[in-house]
Structure 1
Amino acid sequence: MKQYKKGAKTADSILRSHPEHGETLAMKGLVLSFLSRKAEARDLVRLGVRHDLRSHLCWHVYGVVCRGDGEYDEAVKCYKNALRLDPSNVTVLKDLAALQVHLRDAHGLCATRQSLLELKPSQRTNWLALAVAHHLSSHHEVAASVLASYASTLELRTIEAEPYEHSEVLLYRAEILREGGRAGEALEALEAAEKQGFLRDPVGSARLRARLLRETGAFEASREAFEKLLDLTPDDREVHDALREIVEEEIKERLGGEAGDDPSDADASFSSALETRLTALYRLLQERHPRSLAVRRVPLDFASGQAFE
């Protein structure tokens, strides 16, 4: 149980002997802020800072109080002042990082998380947080590099002890590579992880693999991958939409060399070929997934005439 009133009394006993002790004034102000005495708390913290400008604790407390009052920009300034006095203070760095996330200051977050990693490189959280910071800043190459460096530090026994956590890191790195326009490299990394037996999320890895195959232009392999994904999630509408788009791309590529002078003829040929191909595909899917509602519902989006009825 937090004993704020007792803490305030303890601070008063110290201040009777040392009324200008900055850190005690600041801590009393912090305690009062938790007792909803905001105005008095702010005055005490400011007084504490004035009496001890060289104390990182006073600036840190000032930042905490400002954050509690919703003055986030002022809180960031206070945290940075505290770090100028104590650059290796992990607690202040974590508070600053949390506030930078709140303010969507991705650039500042990268610097803060880099400092935390350098101070505590043995903590997995710091590696992952730095990668996320660079990902938020659209530094995809750096984020992927950070995750690769982290993975290289792991021993096999560590991976075996936490297989699901390691699997998520590998999938996240592949996703970052994909977003950074390096779908081919992402696919290679994903397949390497599959061969090593490191992936523990069959749906997530299958979904990512299908997307990567599509983005690398392997439409047939991608279509087959999405069909296999439907074996795991037959009612996932996103997968059905992706499957239809791939079939459309295959037909457009096939009909590209057969296009005539009349656009209406080309459109009619495309629509007819698409309906025929999708009808055959979903007939097979209905046999494989007789209990799936989506497999029966989706054909209504492209069927026409008697097939629709």
Structure 2
Amino acid sequence: MCDTCGCGHGDGVTFRKPGDEAAGEHVHQHEHTHDHEHSHNGETHSHPHIHNHAHDHDHSHHTHDHGDHTHTHDHDHHHHHGDHPHDHHHADHNHTHHHDHSHGREIVVEQDILSKNNLLAERNRGFFEAKNILALNLVSSPGSGKTSLLERTIKDLGKEIKFYVVEGDQQTMNDANRIDAAGAPVIQINTGNGCHLDSDMVNRAVKDLKVEDNSVLMIENVGNLVCPSLFDLGEEARVVIMSTTEGEDKPLKYPTMFQTSNICIINKTDLLPYLDFDLEKAKEYALQVNHHLEFFEVSVKTGEGMDAWYKWLKAKMKK
């Protein structure tokens, strides 16, 4: 479970390359600690548990007094601890738990997770700078055209620029297979129930890809305009992609993503004659939340506007 945004990695995160037969490698294990304070017949004691396991709780009766967060439970607990499971049977006596709920602690935990992510992101960034790797984090809603943009870019510039791609999706190898067919080395990260990539995943992927100096690393994040905005991956620039089929008020609905982006690509401009989409209004809304945004209006399908995008990429590579 990601304690920052609430998404779960319960199904495990896997790394795979096209053609791999193995199902991938689980990189997230979950360990959590909690203290129970028990009052048995007037005697009170507490004990911590550190778990790396699944829980089975069979709760037959609950009495909750939320005034002071005192919970009385009449139930069975089944905890499986590594190689030594033990059961608590509380059917014959009342069992009082006192839980301390601290919103301050929740904030500290979130800060710790983001701080840990940001520390590794800075290490990633230092590695990219040292090897002259242009790392771009591509973010958008599902279906905006991230993968299509990458496919066309790789096919058109593949002879001039060495591309590597990290694909982020909850499930399937579909996008990685498309990028592989386009001609770029690629690794697929399947996040299970997770809704974003983080800097540790990118670090692992870059090592597996063996990214060379003087190249471009394209990181296609999980399709989501909320959680990926919180996680720095070590990229040089964040590229948010929206399409003409999504509505021009997208920047106002999801301002954090647009605030944290450097580039905004508006895709599917070939559909403008058939849609009630105001291109200038979309740009105006985006600039309201981030007046530093640079725009590219493109149709990946027809190639219209792609030259300006390619020119920007080449200029960044020369720095």
TM value normalised by structure 1: 0.23
**Which structure's residues are more often strand, by fraction?**
2
Name which one, 1 or 2, has greater alpha-carbon Rg.
Answer: 1
Q: Higher relative CO (CA 8 A, sep ≥ 6), structure 1 or 2?
A: 2
